Amino acid sequence: MVSRGKYIGSLPPESSSEQTAEKASSPPRTPPTTPHPSGWRVDPAPDGRGAPPQQKPPLIPRNRVFIWILLGLLAVNLLIAILTSGPASRPQVPYQPFFVDQVTANNVRDISSTGDSIEGTLKQEATYTPPGGGDPVKVSNDFKTEVPTFIDSSAVTTLLTEHNVVINASAPDSGRSVIGTLILGLLPTLLLIGFFIWLFRKQAGGGRGGVLGGFGRSTARRVQADSQNRVTFKDVAGIDEAEDELEEIVDFLRNPQRYTKLGARIPHGVLLYGPPGTGKTLLARAVAGQAHAAYFHISASEFVEAIVGVGASRVRDLFKQAKEAAPAIVFIDELDAIGRSRSGNVGGLSGGNDEREQTLNQILTEMDGFEPGTDVIVLGATNRPEILDPALLRPGRFDRRIAVNPPDRNGRVAILEIHTRDVVLADDVDLDRIAASIPGSTGADIALLVNEAALFAARREHPKVEQRDFTDAIEKILLGAERQVVMTDADRMRTAYHEAGHALVGMLTPGADPVRKISIIPRGQALGVTLSTPDSDRYNYRREELLAQIKVALGGRAAERVVLDELSTGAESDIQNLTQVARGMVGRWGMSDTVGPIAVTDGRRDGLLLPGAMPASEPTQELVDKEVRRIVDEAEDEVIELLQRERDRLEALATALLERETLDQPEAYEVAGVPLPGGEPVTVPAGGPGSDTPTSGSGDDQAR
């Protein structure tokens, strides 16, 4: 079951001697002598040392052309505002008959007179025919007219008064005020000028690329070497092999002369790979903290943006910052986001896009460009090293590859001691016992466990965190919180026989893991659960042990057939698990004489193939299906025969579950009349969250 990796070699990077010779052939350019603000005459070094500090750009550009453009824009905008500040134009209508007729018809609301000019507003729109004929003209509301000089003004006033027309002393619409005109004339120009000033300052401070240069700057988060939250190897436990591999990196960053005087060079890159939560990021921070080096942390996905070329620019900026802060650690998390193989269909995934490839090429170029004496080391982390591009893994780039695996029992104890440093523990807490009950758990799983136990103790108002709090925390993480489900007697009985079948088969089948706990309390998506875990960490499984897992998974379904003579949907998860194990036996581990040692599938649910496995032909796939069916059918027949023979023990377990709902290991073996397996019984539920170790067990699915 251990997959051996394949070394991918390549030609070493081109020697830098040619580049050095080429640089030496061209005469160096001497920077001009510049006056220093302090009065000294300074000749800057080629790398910029000794140069006077750069002055910040002024708030407003002191350019004569810019000032003339500014004044011109203000004048034009103010002129337009003044010209448009008058009242709105009104249609000219004849005094008689239109105006007089509308007053007589009581259709004029109000008027305003200046000299012989009258401006007014109609109550309703009206039409009139022009004096020369033509199409009728429509007057909506506002209008103006001229009173002939021979018309008596007193007669006009009498006419307006008789028909209740409001006579104003000033024009109803005198246009925009002076303040409004100034605001409308100056504010848009000032806003536009402010935008240009902001653009100018961004252009001056954005470096190469101008205002868009900020997109190309690295978004890496830097942790200073002297930070109070500095992480060292004292904060890392359970991965001693990986720490030993990285001790040399730390020693090089501290004492580079020890290696360079012998002609040695430190690896340019170190690849950390392993399951999620094993501590790859924490290990990288510990290397930087132990070496007192600057630490740059960035996720690979942060390099890629919608704008093509931004990722490559960020890579250049990141390595520039790291070289300036040397000695430094550049940690790129989730390296497979940009380092995926550029060839098609590797690990079931096709090649990438242009932006990702440009970013990857820039990383390769930067790592090749490390000159001797550059105290910068690149650490990469990934969960899937098999899909990385071969060019990324060749010598001269990521030279060293370190596997970060889940800790063993002693490692879990050490991790528990680290995470419980600030936790007040009761005297009954046994960290070694807790570590033994969670095989396969990672550092992140253990941190979550300790936090959940502390939360349980706080809710229960315990002065200290007790062993029972850890037990309940493991149950909550593994099984979920208890659900208040009102089950019928028939469902409780079916669940009890289902879980009793799993437990009894696990107790009586050679090669099966010991049963740790049986429960018919609904948790999460399950109506009941049977937990079975090994006494110690397992790294390899024999055929007998895998067949035992299949039989234990079939125990619940077989118990329903033996006792109730019917089936339910409660075995859905059991069938999925045993099918996965059976397919792995046939198509992955070569445990079928008919198929032989041929990699047909890796047995995973996502269907991705391992290196060396090819999609099977239809006849081969049909043969695999037949072998899987044969293994499962033979196992089911044996389980049914076993439960029929041990019917009394099955009834005893089911009855005890209906009475107590939960049975720990000693109680379950005592009720079944089976001797306890060798070793001290572990009453804490096992199978830590996120464990990759196969465990025998069942969750009676809720869907029925």
- CATH (domain of 379): 3.40.50.300
Pair 87, 187: CB distance under 8 Å: no
Pair 429, 465: CB distance under 8 Å: yes
- What does residue 592 show for φ and ψ, rounded to 5 degrees? -120, 125
Q: What six digits make up the tokens of 359?
A: 């970013």
89: in domain: no
Contacts of 634 (CB under 8 A, 6+ apart): none
pLDDT of residue 508: 93
Q: Say whether both 596 and 517 belong to one domain.
A: yes
| Catalytic residue positions, numbered | 499
Q: Say whether both 524 and 664 belong to one domain.
A: yes
**CATH code assigned at 423:** 1.10.8.60
Bridge partners (DSSP) of residue 529 are 519, 699
Domain count, the chain: 5
Pair 577, 664: CB distance under 8 Å: no
Q: What six digits make up the tokens of 290?
A: 């132990």
Q: What six digits make up the tokens of 386?
A: 């098999």
620: in domain: yes
Q: Say whether both 508 and 625 belong to one domain.
A: yes
173: in domain: no
Q: What six digits make up the tokens of 236?
A: 């890392």
44: in domain: no
**CATH code assigned at 146:** 3.30.720.210
Q: What is the DSSP letter of 295?
A: E
Bridge partners (DSSP) of residue 143 are 120
SS (H, E, C) 146-200: ECCCCCCHHHHHHHHHHCCCEEECCCCCCCCCHHHHHHHHHHHHHHHHHHHHHHH
Cα–Cα distances in Å, from 71 out to 68, 184, 191, 336?
A: 5, 16, 14, 56
Q: Say whether both 159 and 289 belong to one domain.
A: no
Q: What is the DSSP letter of 359?
A: H
Q: Say whether both 248 and 328 belong to one domain.
A: yes
Bond prior to 677 in cis (omega within 30° of 0): no
Angle subtended by helix axes 310-324 and 354-368, to nearest 10: 20
CB atoms within 10 A of CB 23: 10
Q: What is the DSSP letter of 481?
A: S
Please identify every stretch of the chain with a pLDDT value under 50, giving residue numbers as ranges: 1-51, 206-212, 215-216, 345-352, 603-612, 679-698, 700-704
Q: Say whether both 448 and 385 belong to one domain.
A: no
Which of 479, 513, 539 is the last residue in one of the domains?
479
Q: Say whether both 457 and 325 belong to one domain.
A: no
Q: Say whether both 247 and 320 belong to one domain.
A: yes
Q: What type of residue sits at position 281?
A: T
- pTM of this prediction? 0.62
442: in domain: yes
pLDDT of residue 453: 93
Q: Say whether both 69 and 101 belong to one domain.
A: no
Q: What type of residue sits at position 178?
A: V
Q: Say whether both 587 and 457 belong to one domain.
A: no
What is the C-alpha to C-alpha distance for residues 611 and 620, in angstroms, rounded to an integer? 19
pLDDT of residue 9: 38
What is the C-alpha to C-alpha distance for residues 617 and 672, in angstroms, rounded to an integer? 47
Nearest to 578 by CA among 631, 616, 501: 631
Pair 573, 698: CB distance under 8 Å: yes
In the three-class reduction of DSSP (H, G, I as helix; E, B as strand; rest coil), residue 675 is classed as coil
Cα–Cα distances in Å, from 575 out to 243, 493, 520, 522, 554?
A: 41, 21, 19, 20, 8
Beta-sheet strands, E only, within 39-152: 41-42, 108-114, 117-122, 126-128, 137-139, 142-146
Domain with 149, as residue range(s), is 95-168
What is the C-alpha to C-alpha distance for residues 28 and 51, in angstroms, rounded to an integer? 17
Nearest to 440 by CA among 578, 542, 534: 534
355: in domain: yes
pLDDT of residue 297: 85
pLDDT of residue 132: 67
pLDDT of residue 454: 94
Which of 403, 422, 456 is the last residue in one of the domains?
403
55: in domain: no
pLDDT of residue 439: 84
SS (H, E, C) 403-419: ECCCCCHHHHHHHHHHH
Contacts of 662 (CB under 8 A, 6+ apart): 517, 518, 519, 520, 521
Q: Say whether both 113 and 243 belong to one domain.
A: no
12: in domain: no
Q: Say whether both 619 and 693 belong to one domain.
A: yes
